[in-house]
Structure 1
Protein backbone atom coordinates (compact mmCIF):
# COMPACT_ATOMS: atom_id res chain seq x y z
CA UNK A 1 0.00 0.00 0.00
CA UNK A 2 1.28 3.42 -0.94
CA UNK A 3 0.45 6.08 1.62
CA UNK A 4 0.97 9.79 1.00
CA UNK A 5 0.49 11.91 4.11
CA UNK A 6 -0.02 15.67 3.82
CA UNK A 7 0.04 18.01 6.82
CA UNK A 8 -1.77 21.33 6.55
CA UNK A 9 -1.29 24.17 9.04
CA UNK A 10 0.71 21.94 11.39
CA UNK A 11 4.18 20.51 11.86
CA UNK A 12 4.99 17.13 10.32
CA UNK A 13 4.84 14.35 12.87
CA UNK A 14 6.33 10.90 12.32
CA UNK A 15 4.12 9.59 15.12
CA UNK A 16 0.94 10.69 13.31
CA UNK A 17 2.29 9.38 10.01
CA UNK A 18 3.02 5.91 11.43
CA UNK A 19 -0.33 5.89 13.32
CA UNK A 20 -2.19 6.60 10.07
CA UNK A 21 -0.22 3.84 8.26
CA UNK A 22 -0.93 1.38 11.08
CA UNK A 23 -4.65 2.14 10.98
CA UNK A 24 -4.78 1.86 7.18
CA UNK A 25 -3.36 -1.68 7.40
CA UNK A 26 -6.84 -2.76 8.62
CA UNK A 27 -8.21 -1.88 5.17
CA UNK A 28 -6.14 -4.58 3.45
CA UNK A 29 -8.52 -7.32 4.60
CA UNK A 30 -11.24 -5.82 2.39
CA UNK A 31 -9.20 -5.14 -0.75
CA UNK A 32 -6.23 -7.29 -1.76
CA UNK A 33 -5.28 -5.29 -4.84
CA UNK A 34 -2.61 -2.58 -4.80
CA UNK A 35 -4.00 0.37 -2.90
CA UNK A 36 -2.97 4.03 -2.97
CA UNK A 37 -4.01 6.12 0.03
CA UNK A 38 -3.83 9.87 0.53
CA UNK A 39 -4.14 11.17 4.08
CA UNK A 40 -4.71 14.87 4.69
CA UNK A 41 -4.29 16.06 8.30
CA UNK A 42 -5.40 19.65 8.89
CA UNK A 43 -5.57 21.87 11.98
CA UNK A 44 -7.79 24.97 12.02
CA UNK A 45 -7.76 26.73 15.40
CA UNK A 46 -9.21 23.98 17.62
CA UNK A 47 -10.61 21.71 14.88
CA UNK A 48 -8.48 18.70 13.90
CA UNK A 49 -9.57 17.25 10.55
CA UNK A 50 -8.50 13.96 8.98
CA UNK A 51 -9.40 13.19 5.38
CA UNK A 52 -8.55 9.90 3.64
CA UNK A 53 -8.88 9.00 -0.04
CA UNK A 54 -8.35 5.35 -1.02
CA UNK A 55 -7.87 4.36 -4.64
CA UNK A 56 -7.82 0.73 -5.75
CA UNK A 57 -8.66 -1.04 -8.97
CA UNK A 58 -12.09 0.24 -9.98
CA UNK A 59 -12.96 1.90 -6.67
CA UNK A 60 -12.29 5.25 -4.98
CA UNK A 61 -13.43 5.86 -1.41
CA UNK A 62 -13.29 9.17 0.44
CA UNK A 63 -14.04 9.97 4.06
CA UNK A 64 -13.43 12.94 6.35
CA UNK A 65 -13.86 13.48 10.08
CA UNK A 66 -13.15 16.32 12.49
CA UNK A 67 -12.74 16.29 16.27
CA UNK A 68 -10.71 18.04 18.97
CA UNK A 69 -7.93 15.41 18.78
CA UNK A 70 -6.03 14.31 15.63
CA UNK A 71 -5.72 10.67 16.77
CA UNK A 72 -9.48 10.49 17.40
CA UNK A 73 -10.12 12.03 13.98
CA UNK A 74 -7.89 9.38 12.34
CA UNK A 75 -9.71 6.59 14.20
CA UNK A 76 -13.11 7.91 13.15
CA UNK A 77 -12.17 8.36 9.48
CA UNK A 78 -10.68 4.85 9.25
CA UNK A 79 -13.88 3.44 10.78
CA UNK A 80 -15.89 5.24 8.08
CA UNK A 81 -13.62 3.83 5.36
CA UNK A 82 -14.02 0.32 6.79
CA UNK A 83 -17.82 0.62 6.79
CA UNK A 84 -17.79 1.79 3.18
CA UNK A 85 -15.52 -1.06 2.12
CA UNK A 86 -17.66 -3.63 3.97
CA UNK A 87 -20.74 -2.34 2.12
CA UNK A 88 -18.84 -2.47 -1.16
CA UNK A 89 -17.81 -6.11 -0.55
CA UNK A 90 -21.40 -7.08 0.34
CA UNK A 91 -22.66 -5.51 -2.88
CA UNK A 92 -20.11 -7.50 -4.85
CA UNK A 93 -21.28 -10.71 -3.17
CA UNK A 94 -24.93 -9.91 -3.89
CA UNK A 95 -24.26 -9.29 -7.58
CA UNK A 96 -22.18 -12.40 -8.26
CA UNK A 97 -23.84 -14.72 -10.79
CA UNK A 98 -25.51 -17.81 -9.38
CA UNK A 99 -23.83 -21.16 -9.84
CA UNK A 100 -26.87 -23.27 -10.68
CA UNK A 101 -26.44 -25.93 -13.36
CA UNK A 102 -28.87 -24.35 -15.84
CA UNK A 103 -26.74 -21.24 -16.27
CA UNK A 104 -23.61 -23.36 -16.64
CA UNK A 105 -25.29 -25.43 -19.36
CA UNK A 106 -26.39 -22.28 -21.19
CA UNK A 107 -22.87 -20.89 -20.98
CA UNK A 108 -21.46 -24.16 -22.36
CA UNK A 109 -23.89 -24.15 -25.26
CA UNK A 110 -23.04 -20.52 -26.03
CA UNK A 111 -19.34 -21.37 -26.10
CA UNK A 112 -19.93 -24.34 -28.41
CA UNK A 113 -22.17 -22.23 -30.65
CA UNK A 114 -19.49 -19.55 -30.87
CA UNK A 115 -16.85 -22.13 -31.69
CA UNK A 116 -19.07 -23.57 -34.46
CA UNK A 117 -19.51 -20.08 -35.94
CA UNK A 118 -15.77 -19.50 -35.87
CA UNK A 119 -15.01 -22.64 -37.87
CA UNK A 120 -14.33 -22.04 -41.55
CA UNK A 121 -15.75 -25.30 -42.93
CA UNK A 122 -19.51 -25.87 -42.60
CA UNK A 123 -20.56 -28.31 -39.90
CA UNK A 124 -22.97 -31.15 -40.61
CA UNK A 125 -25.50 -31.38 -37.83
CA UNK A 126 -26.97 -34.87 -37.43
CA UNK A 127 -30.68 -35.14 -38.13
CA UNK A 128 -33.27 -37.86 -37.94
CA UNK A 129 -33.84 -40.45 -40.64
CA UNK A 130 -37.28 -40.85 -42.16
CA UNK A 131 -38.77 -43.40 -44.50
CA UNK A 132 -40.02 -42.01 -47.81
CA UNK A 133 -43.33 -43.52 -48.89
CA UNK A 134 -44.85 -43.20 -52.34
CA UNK A 135 -47.70 -40.65 -52.62
CA UNK A 136 -49.14 -38.08 -54.98
CA UNK A 137 -48.25 -34.38 -54.91
CA UNK A 138 -51.65 -33.43 -53.43
CA UNK A 139 -51.28 -36.08 -50.74
CA UNK A 140 -47.77 -34.78 -49.93
CA UNK A 141 -49.09 -31.21 -49.52
CA UNK A 142 -51.86 -32.46 -47.21
CA UNK A 143 -49.32 -34.50 -45.19
CA UNK A 144 -47.02 -31.46 -44.91
CA UNK A 145 -49.92 -29.34 -43.59
CA UNK A 146 -50.91 -32.01 -41.06
CA UNK A 147 -47.32 -32.25 -39.76
CA UNK A 148 -46.91 -28.42 -39.69
CA UNK A 149 -43.65 -28.65 -41.64
CA UNK A 150 -42.18 -26.22 -44.16
CA UNK A 151 -41.13 -28.97 -46.57
CA UNK A 152 -41.64 -32.69 -47.16
CA UNK A 153 -39.54 -35.18 -49.10
CA UNK A 154 -41.58 -37.94 -50.74
CA UNK A 155 -41.54 -40.44 -53.59
CA UNK A 156 -43.95 -39.58 -56.41
CA UNK A 157 -46.25 -42.60 -56.88
CA UNK A 158 -46.53 -42.09 -60.65
CA UNK A 159 -42.83 -41.55 -61.54
CA UNK A 160 -41.20 -43.19 -58.47
CA UNK A 161 -38.74 -40.27 -58.30
CA UNK A 162 -37.85 -38.46 -55.07
CA UNK A 163 -39.56 -35.04 -54.95
CA UNK A 164 -39.73 -32.18 -52.45
CA UNK A 165 -42.80 -30.09 -51.66
CA UNK A 166 -42.18 -26.84 -49.80
CA UNK A 167 -44.14 -23.87 -48.50
CA UNK A 168 -43.21 -20.59 -50.18
CA UNK A 169 -43.10 -17.21 -48.45
CA UNK A 170 -46.18 -16.02 -50.36
CA UNK A 171 -48.25 -18.90 -48.88
CA UNK A 172 -48.29 -21.07 -52.02
CA UNK A 173 -46.53 -24.40 -52.43
CA UNK A 174 -43.50 -25.26 -54.51
CA UNK A 175 -42.49 -28.62 -56.00
CA UNK A 176 -38.93 -29.71 -56.72
CA UNK A 177 -38.74 -32.51 -59.26
CA UNK A 178 -35.42 -34.13 -60.27
CA UNK A 179 -34.59 -34.51 -63.96
CA UNK A 180 -32.23 -37.11 -65.38
CA UNK A 181 -29.81 -36.31 -68.16
Structure 2
Protein backbone atom coordinates (compact mmCIF):
# COMPACT_ATOMS: atom_id res chain seq x y z
CA UNK A 1 0.00 0.00 0.00
CA UNK A 2 1.30 3.43 -0.95
CA UNK A 3 1.00 5.88 1.95
CA UNK A 4 0.99 9.67 1.59
CA UNK A 5 1.05 11.81 4.74
CA UNK A 6 0.02 15.46 4.51
CA UNK A 7 0.05 18.14 7.20
CA UNK A 8 -2.26 21.15 6.94
CA UNK A 9 -1.32 24.10 9.12
CA UNK A 10 1.24 21.86 10.87
CA UNK A 11 4.71 20.45 10.32
CA UNK A 12 4.52 16.76 11.10
CA UNK A 13 7.30 15.10 13.06
CA UNK A 14 9.00 12.01 11.71
CA UNK A 15 7.93 9.92 14.71
CA UNK A 16 4.24 10.64 13.93
CA UNK A 17 4.77 9.69 10.27
CA UNK A 18 6.44 6.43 11.32
CA UNK A 19 3.65 5.69 13.79
CA UNK A 20 0.99 6.30 11.12
CA UNK A 21 2.80 4.02 8.65
CA UNK A 22 3.21 1.31 11.29
CA UNK A 23 -0.48 1.44 12.26
CA UNK A 24 -1.58 1.38 8.61
CA UNK A 25 0.70 -1.57 7.91
CA UNK A 26 -1.78 -3.88 9.67
CA UNK A 27 -4.03 -3.36 6.64
CA UNK A 28 -1.33 -4.54 4.19
CA UNK A 29 -2.70 -8.09 4.36
CA UNK A 30 -6.08 -6.80 3.22
CA UNK A 31 -5.17 -4.32 0.48
CA UNK A 32 -3.03 -4.78 -2.63
CA UNK A 33 0.24 -2.99 -3.32
CA UNK A 34 -1.60 -0.60 -5.65
CA UNK A 35 -3.90 0.63 -2.86
CA UNK A 36 -3.37 4.28 -1.96
CA UNK A 37 -3.70 5.58 1.58
CA UNK A 38 -3.71 9.30 2.33
CA UNK A 39 -3.28 10.53 5.90
CA UNK A 40 -4.21 14.20 6.34
CA UNK A 41 -3.54 15.96 9.64
CA UNK A 42 -5.11 19.36 10.26
CA UNK A 43 -4.53 21.52 13.32
CA UNK A 44 -7.02 24.28 14.15
CA UNK A 45 -6.86 26.06 17.49
CA UNK A 46 -6.61 23.30 20.08
CA UNK A 47 -8.14 20.56 17.90
CA UNK A 48 -6.17 18.08 15.84
CA UNK A 49 -7.96 16.19 13.10
CA UNK A 50 -6.62 13.05 11.45
CA UNK A 51 -8.32 11.86 8.27
CA UNK A 52 -7.37 8.65 6.48
CA UNK A 53 -8.64 7.68 3.03
CA UNK A 54 -7.77 4.33 1.47
CA UNK A 55 -8.58 3.80 -2.22
CA UNK A 56 -8.36 0.51 -4.07
CA UNK A 57 -10.07 -0.57 -7.29
CA UNK A 58 -12.96 1.84 -6.97
CA UNK A 59 -13.58 1.15 -3.28
CA UNK A 60 -12.98 3.99 -0.84
CA UNK A 61 -12.62 3.68 2.92
CA UNK A 62 -12.51 6.96 4.83
CA UNK A 63 -12.51 7.92 8.47
CA UNK A 64 -11.89 11.18 10.31
CA UNK A 65 -11.41 11.86 14.01
CA UNK A 66 -10.72 15.02 15.99
CA UNK A 67 -9.02 15.09 19.36
CA UNK A 68 -6.79 17.23 21.55
CA UNK A 69 -3.84 14.92 20.78
CA UNK A 70 -2.75 13.92 17.29
CA UNK A 71 -1.78 10.37 18.34
CA UNK A 72 -5.12 9.82 20.05
CA UNK A 73 -6.97 10.95 16.92
CA UNK A 74 -4.79 8.55 14.88
CA UNK A 75 -5.71 5.62 17.16
CA UNK A 76 -9.43 6.41 16.86
CA UNK A 77 -9.32 6.77 13.08
CA UNK A 78 -7.44 3.46 12.66
CA UNK A 79 -10.12 1.74 14.81
CA UNK A 80 -12.90 3.31 12.74
CA UNK A 81 -11.28 2.14 9.50
CA UNK A 82 -10.96 -1.36 10.94
CA UNK A 83 -14.68 -1.41 11.72
CA UNK A 84 -15.54 -0.23 8.20
CA UNK A 85 -13.36 -2.88 6.64
CA UNK A 86 -14.86 -5.56 8.86
CA UNK A 87 -18.42 -4.54 7.96
CA UNK A 88 -17.58 -4.56 4.26
CA UNK A 89 -15.43 -7.71 4.29
CA UNK A 90 -17.43 -9.57 1.66
CA UNK A 91 -17.43 -6.65 -0.77
CA UNK A 92 -13.71 -6.24 -0.28
CA UNK A 93 -13.17 -9.93 -0.97
CA UNK A 94 -15.12 -9.67 -4.22
CA UNK A 95 -13.15 -6.59 -5.26
CA UNK A 96 -9.88 -8.31 -4.45
CA UNK A 97 -11.10 -11.63 -5.91
CA UNK A 98 -9.67 -13.81 -3.17
CA UNK A 99 -11.09 -16.65 -1.13
CA UNK A 100 -13.32 -15.81 1.84
CA UNK A 101 -10.75 -17.13 4.30
CA UNK A 102 -8.68 -13.94 3.97
CA UNK A 103 -6.60 -13.32 7.06
CA UNK A 104 -8.17 -10.28 8.71
CA UNK A 105 -6.38 -8.98 11.82
CA UNK A 106 -8.07 -10.00 15.09
CA UNK A 107 -8.58 -6.34 15.99
CA UNK A 108 -11.12 -6.06 13.17
CA UNK A 109 -13.48 -8.67 14.64
CA UNK A 110 -14.86 -6.48 17.43
CA UNK A 111 -18.25 -6.00 15.74
CA UNK A 112 -20.74 -8.63 14.59
CA UNK A 113 -21.65 -8.86 10.90
CA UNK A 114 -24.44 -6.53 9.87
CA UNK A 115 -26.89 -7.38 7.15
CA UNK A 116 -27.48 -4.48 4.79
CA UNK A 117 -31.17 -3.84 4.39
CA UNK A 118 -33.07 -1.13 2.51
CA UNK A 119 -35.69 0.19 4.92
CA UNK A 120 -37.47 2.55 2.55
CA UNK A 121 -37.58 3.41 -1.14
CA UNK A 122 -38.59 6.92 -2.09
CA UNK A 123 -39.27 8.25 -5.60
CA UNK A 124 -39.17 11.92 -6.45
CA UNK A 125 -38.63 14.27 -9.38
CA UNK A 126 -35.07 15.52 -9.82
CA UNK A 127 -35.34 19.24 -10.46
CA UNK A 128 -32.93 21.45 -12.39
CA UNK A 129 -31.31 24.04 -10.09
CA UNK A 130 -28.04 25.58 -8.98
CA UNK A 131 -26.08 24.14 -6.05
CA UNK A 132 -27.07 27.17 -3.97
CA UNK A 133 -30.77 26.55 -4.66
CA UNK A 134 -30.28 22.87 -3.78
CA UNK A 135 -28.70 23.82 -0.44
CA UNK A 136 -31.64 26.11 0.34
CA UNK A 137 -34.10 23.33 -0.57
CA UNK A 138 -32.16 20.81 1.58
CA UNK A 139 -32.23 23.20 4.56
CA UNK A 140 -35.95 23.85 4.13
CA UNK A 141 -36.60 20.09 4.18
CA UNK A 142 -34.28 19.57 7.15
CA UNK A 143 -32.28 16.89 5.32
CA UNK A 144 -28.55 16.11 5.44
CA UNK A 145 -28.27 15.77 1.65
CA UNK A 146 -30.21 16.68 -1.50
CA UNK A 147 -30.15 15.22 -5.03
CA UNK A 148 -30.62 17.61 -7.97
CA UNK A 149 -29.77 18.16 -11.64
CA UNK A 150 -27.19 20.92 -12.11
CA UNK A 151 -28.49 23.67 -14.37
CA UNK A 152 -25.05 24.35 -15.88
CA UNK A 153 -24.02 20.77 -16.72
CA UNK A 154 -27.27 18.80 -16.70
CA UNK A 155 -25.57 16.16 -14.50
CA UNK A 156 -27.10 14.64 -11.38
CA UNK A 157 -25.32 16.12 -8.33
CA UNK A 158 -25.69 15.88 -4.57
CA UNK A 159 -25.22 18.60 -1.95
CA UNK A 160 -24.70 17.55 1.65
CA UNK A 161 -24.08 19.02 5.08
CA UNK A 162 -20.65 18.22 6.53
CA UNK A 163 -19.98 17.53 10.22
CA UNK A 164 -18.40 20.96 10.69
CA UNK A 165 -21.51 22.74 9.31
CA UNK A 166 -20.09 23.49 5.85
CA UNK A 167 -21.62 22.09 2.69
CA UNK A 168 -20.21 19.63 0.17
CA UNK A 169 -21.05 19.02 -3.48
CA UNK A 170 -20.76 15.59 -5.14
CA UNK A 171 -20.23 15.79 -8.89
CA UNK A 172 -19.99 12.66 -11.05
CA UNK A 173 -16.72 12.10 -12.83
CA UNK A 174 -16.85 10.60 -16.29
CA UNK A 175 -13.92 8.42 -17.31
TM-score (norm 2): 0.50
- Report which of the two has the higher share of helix: 1
Q: Which has the larger radius of gyration?
A: 1
TM-score (norm 1): 0.48
